[in-house]
Structure 1
Amino acid sequence: MFQFLSSNPSFFPLFLFLFLSSAASTSPMHHLPDESVETNETVLNKHGNGGNTSTTLLLAPHRTNRPDIFNHFQPYTAGWNLTNYHYLSSVISSAVPLIVAAVAWLVVFGVCLQLICFCYCCCPSSTPPPHAYSKSAYVSSFIFLFLFTIAAIGGCLILYSGQGKLHESTSQTLHFLVNQAHLTALNLREVSDYFDTTKQVGLAADLSFLPPDFGDQIDHVKTKLTSASLLLSNKTDHNSHNIQQGLDTMRLALIIVSAVMLSVTFAGFLCSLLGIQCLVYFLVVIGWILVACTFILCAGFLFLHNCNNLQQVTLQDANAVWKNYTCEASSWGRCVSVGRMTPTVYTQLGALVNVTYGLYHYGPFLSDLVDCTFVRETFSAITHNYCPSLSLFTKWIYFGLLLVSVAVMFSLILWIIYDTHHRHRRYTKTMRYIVR
């Protein structure tokens, strides 16, 4: 386990990437075998090969079970694992429809814009065709333009509100993971401190059954523990800083997107009402690119989308209680006053109590760390305490981006239609005035 911690210093901070949605896998993942023990969101697989048995932890196997279009539409069953190529490709597969929509929008609407430009350049005509103006079409285009403008504004508001709540939720999740990593590093350092006491007790006792290199072995283990704890702390601080910067950048990008889309929507609506044709077509081109970008952002967020009894003495109080039974020792090490323990024996017993307390207090922690119970508990805490808010606010942003994309997409088309009917209406009124 200590080698694992040393070789994977970014173990805990990388959990965040399970949402950013905002983490990395804690162990290698494999495809689901025939025999498995499944519990809620985790699957423990036992692979037997002769006398060798290995256990693999699958994270969220149900929620990650999705078809992979890059693997002949075969379902992905190896659980949540960012180091697995098939996991990434299966997640990308779920976002493919939005990417296809963005590409189709760029191509189709781009061709339409080229045709419009071709008609204006090659077939110029300042006079609309007879009976080109239709009052019902003019009113209908205005109503739909107004409705889609309101929808775009609503989408921008949802997007802006969602990004703030998502940033707060992801920051809290990151803070929890950093605390877990620092707690692990602190416990490892405290465990390593108890090895000094163990070494002193063993050497002071001068027991013949202890191996000759007893002290060297303890120093070696302590060095590994200290190195792992320092490495984990340093990498946790470094990675948490980078992740926080990424979260801040994502928040800024979403704010810019919502502000730009809101501005373009307002400007396009006003220019259409005022009949400023050159600005309308300029905003149409800008909106054409922005809609494709928001569709891709939608795909990106979809990619991101879990008591003492019998008068026993506690270990903490043992030294104080035993001190009452300590006597004064003579030069040859025997008691010469009331008491049963010499100061030397009392000192060694106190050191043994410290070691025993270390085993009692940190033994379960080390056991949980070795068999990944600590990891499962961390994921369970994230699933119950942080995943609901992360999932909710990610949906807010996804829905906001999708609403803005669709609303602005139809608004672009309606800008052109309404501007055309608006020009025809003005021409018709002018002609009627001239006739009179």
Structure 2
Amino acid sequence: MAGAKKVGVGHIFLPNDLQIKIDNIITKLNISAAELSSKTSESFKNIDEVLNTVLVILGWILVTCTFITSGVFLLVHNVVGDTCVAMDEWVARQHTHTALGDLIPCVNAATANESLSRSKEVTFELIQVVNEVILNVSNANFPSRIFNPPLSYNQSGPPMPILCNPYKPDLTDRKCRPGEVNFDDASTVWKRFVCNTKVVAGNEICSSVGRITPSMFNEMTGATNMSQGLYLYVPFLFKIADCTVARETLGSISSDYCPGVELHSKTIVLGLVVVSTTMMLSIIFWMILAKQRKHRRYSKKYTNQEGPLMAGYKL
């Protein structure tokens, strides 16, 4: 529009009133442009300040979280390392005072061995009692006119097998012989030798072929189950009591898992420290850069404000 105002053909130009209107509209446009530029600069400044604040806060939050995570992993690493060392000491030094030994109570080895021997002795004697009844009473053929219950109760039929004793008289291990039944099969096998009974003078008397009465079967299976429990579970329970199981378990954990856990935890802690340091340095450099940009923006604004005054002075 400013250029069109000066255009003319020969000595003929645009009317004066139109030129005045052009000057007015140009002035208004300049004012609007200045206001738009001012508002844009102000909005940019506000947004930039908000973003700077948000980014700084977010950055420090991330740095703090990373350092906290690093501390937690460092704590875990130290705890795991100390635990592995304590387990190694406790497993290697069974008869010395260790840190883990104060936390895990163990039965004295001599007491545990004596108790285990007693349980073997009880198991051996219970089976001996059952077998003596089978050999000397159930499988015996007593004349009913001479012997009375409980020795003679009209038992008859093929002899029933005895129970396998897992121990010798010296309580060492013993293998079962042919014709003996083990703990698992005893009740099933012996059940075939139970006779039908009738009560005569308060005593059970077999009224059919069989070697034992139902009450004798129940007593024999009860003694067998007790012997089986002592044989199977008592040795394991004493291994728990004298900490043999705990030592084996902790020794396995220490040898199989501790080296890997320590190595990986060190790697994780080192990585977190590197990430935390990198983020912290990035935020510091970013804050320095933002401060320099802000300083340059203020310097440029100050120069623009001082420029017209100097020009007017020179003119």
Shared fold, TM over 0.5: no
Q: TM-score, normalised to structure 1's length? A: 0.30
| Greater relative CO, 1 or 2 (CA 8 Å, sep 6+) | 1
Normalising by structure 2, report the TM-score. 0.40
